[in-house]
Amino acid sequence: MPALNQITCVEDFRRLARRRVPRMFYDYMDSGSWTESTYRANEADLQALKFRQRVAVDIARRSLRARLLGEDVAMPLALAPTGLTGMQRADGEILAARAAERFGVPFTLSTMSICSIEDVAARTSRPFWFQLYVMRDREFIGRLIDRARAARCSALMVTLDLQVMGQRHKDIRNGLSTPPRPTLANLANLALKPQWCLEMLRTPRRAFGNIVGHAKGVADMRSLASWTAEQFDATLNWSDLAWIKERWGGKLIVKGIMDAQDARRAVDAGADALVVSNHGGRQLDGAPSSIAALPAIAQAVGGRIEVWMDGGVRSGQDTLRALALGARGVLIGRAFLYALAARGEAGVLRCLEILANELDVTMAFCGRTRIQDVDRRVLVNPEAAC
């Protein structure tokens, strides 16, 4: 196992995670829907954008500090909401939230987390964001919003692109479940991951902590499976945001925007920020990459709302590319999950340090000293991703 200071990029963490995590949870983390073309495009289209190097510029005093939703952050980046984070590493949501707090960037807890809202709030001191899936049981959703407020969450992120589930072939083949079903194939794979198994046995948190014991009729994992299958709400529409916004009463983020018209609807709905996102290529395969959708969306809303982006961000250089094309900040999912799975809280902190260093050095090569001054001029071919 390499020392943390020998891990120099996100790809190092990915390789370590693959060796450590059971196959069904690694595949859940590192795959897309259908042919995975959009999943791959998220990374490839970012890599197609080339930087304009500048020289003989005074770059001695540089700063990555920024503000997201009025919060001071060490760099314009947040940890995205990711389901089953506590299956990548025992108590994973708590560990990731602590690392984000130590570094100085926001953490977002998923509705489909293993650790509950209350678990994370009790073990962190910095307010975090909570991500909401809107389900048919509106009474449960209302209580979930109230729980997020009681836990002092500083923003609510509503994910809009999961009215139906994209087909994820690997999850189906693996029989994804939490905790894993004791099939012969699963037991054989778990036998090869003894450290993961040992850590999971030591924690009581192995189910969906925000749902089990809170949703009506869901007292265990057996009842959760049937409840979840019935809860995706195909009727979700923009008018539902008015009720959510009123019930929440605080900062509102909408996630899953891939179209300029939808971006304008988000503004009209009173959102404070939107996330250009195709769910990491896990929903509509064949959709454009997030970076390809970003410029038109940023132009459409004209600064009336904060525009962020996720999808394919694996380096600080990718962060700079997104900022150049109009994002105020980025969210990372897989990048921090690899680090969490590989090395826990220390791994996530090291991942953030790596991303910050890459962002800082690349910004310097482009002749910029303040992250707020990054624009399309740092790219040779800003149209390449469009």
Question: How is residue 166 written in tokens?
Answer: 């994209």
- Residue 378 marked as a ligand binder: no
Calpha distance 194→192 (Å, rounded): 6
Judge contact between 284 and 41, C-beta under 8 A.
no
- Residue 314 marked as a ligand binder: yes
- Residue 18 marked as a ligand binder: no
DSSP string, 326-380: T-SEEEESHHHHHHHHHHHHHHHHHHHHHHHHHHHHHHHHTT-SBGGG--GGGBS
- Residue 28 marked as a ligand binder: yes
- Residue 83 marked as a ligand binder: yes
- Residue 319 marked as a ligand binder: no
- Residue 338 marked as a ligand binder: no
- Residue 313 marked as a ligand binder: yes
- Residue 111 is classified by DSSP as T
- Residue 168 marked as a ligand binder: yes
- Residue 214 marked as a ligand binder: no
- Residue 202 marked as a ligand binder: no
- Residue 81 marked as a ligand binder: yes
- Residue 311 marked as a ligand binder: yes
Judge contact between 24 and 175, C-beta under 8 A.
yes
How many residues belong to the chain?
A: 386
The catalytically annotated residue of 14, 23, 98, 279 is 279
Of 130, 120, 149, whose CA–CA distance to 345 is shortest? 120
Type of residue numbered 302: G
- Residue 12 marked as a ligand binder: no
- Residue 312 marked as a ligand binder: yes
Of 71, 75, 64, whose CA–CA distance to 103 is shortest? 75
Q: Helices 238-248 and 138-150 sit at what angle, rounded to 10 degrees?
A: 40
- Residue 344 marked as a ligand binder: no
Calpha distance 224→170 (Å, rounded): 21
- Residue 310 marked as a ligand binder: yes
Helix (H) or strand (E) holding 382: none
Calpha distance 5→358 (Å, rounded): 15
Chain center to CA of 200: 23
Calpha distance 131→120 (Å, rounded): 13
Q: Which residues contact 204 (CB under 8 A, 6 or more apart)?
A: none
Calpha distance 329→320 (Å, rounded): 9
Of 305, 311, 304, whose CA–CA distance to 258 is shortest? 311
- Residue 108 marked as a ligand binder: no
Chain center to CA of 87: 15
Judge contact between 279 and 293, C-beta under 8 A.
no
- Residue 39 marked as a ligand binder: no
Active site residue 169: no
Question: How is residue 161 written in tokens?
Answer: 């692109």
Binding site for FMN: residue ranges?
81-83, 110, 131, 159, 255, 277, 310-314, 333-334
Looking at the annotation, which residues are catalytic? 279
Binding site: residue ranges?
28, 81-83, 110, 131, 133, 159, 168, 255, 277, 279, 282, 310-314, 333-334
Binding site for glyoxylate: residue ranges?
28, 133, 168, 279, 282
